[in-house]
Amino acid sequence: MSEGLAKVCRTIRSGRRVVDTLLRAGDLFGGIKVSGPKRQCSIETITDCVLVRVKSLDLRRYLSSKPELLMTCVQLLEDRERRLSRRMESLVFKDVGARVVETLMPLTVDIPEKCPYDGGVSARGMAVDCRVTQSDLAELVVASRQAVNLVLRGLESTGMFHRHGRVLCVPDVRRLGTIGLEL
């Protein structure tokens, strides 16, 4: 994906929809089927996106002629596996609050000056463009939307962020990161 924000979704056996991950500019998705049953996923855009489609056969040919690119793809797969392992650990060992914070952290975007959305309240900080709904966030952290709402309200009441429409201004992202350890 070269621009935008999207989510990878699938339906599990119980019929429940699960959001596997969020995709940002530069992220790859899909795969080359080598063996076993094909896994069905859908991509839902959250913002306007620009996607680039490469056919499997074309990708195989290109990778075979560019070993350095093949190694980059292997590194991307390794990074994806590492993120999945961390997510599984989080689901098993952490509470909803910590999982919400861990999910929000990668969505923060550095604002070098005052957050333009909070009327200058933050001297400097980060912003999270929350086009990801509370329901999406709940599916990502495997919790109810109500539980996610409760966590977000608690974080806001302690000054971890200021909500301005769909944007969260985070005055101190390091402090927000440590709150996940305390929740």
Confidence band, pLDDT 50/70/90 cuts, at residue 96: very high
Backbone angles phi, psi at 51, to 5 degrees: -110, 145
Q: What is the pLDDT of the chain when averaged over all its residues? A: 78
Residue 163: what pLDDT?
A: 73
For residue range 125-183, list pLDDT tens digits in order. 566 666 678 888 888 888 999 999 999 899 888 888 777 766 677 777 777 777 655 44
For residue range 41-53, list pLDDT tens digits in order. 888 888 888 888 8
Residue 183: what pLDDT?
A: 44
CA angle 91, 95, 90 (to 5 degrees): 30
C-alpha to C-alpha distance for 90 and 93, rounded to whole angstroms: 5
To the nearest 10 degrees (0 to 180), the angle between helices 67-93 and 56-65 is 120
Q: What is the DSSP string of the chain?
A: --BSEEEEEEE-TTS-EEEEEEEETT--------SSPPPP-EEEESS--B-----HHHHHHHHHH-HHHHHHHHHHHHHHHHHHHHHHHHHHHS-HHHHHHHHHGGGEEEESSS-TTTTT-SSSEEEEE--S-HHHHHHHHTS-HHHHHHHHHHHHHTTS-EEETTEEEES-HHHHHHHHHH-
Q: How far is CA 112 from the centre of its chain?
A: 22
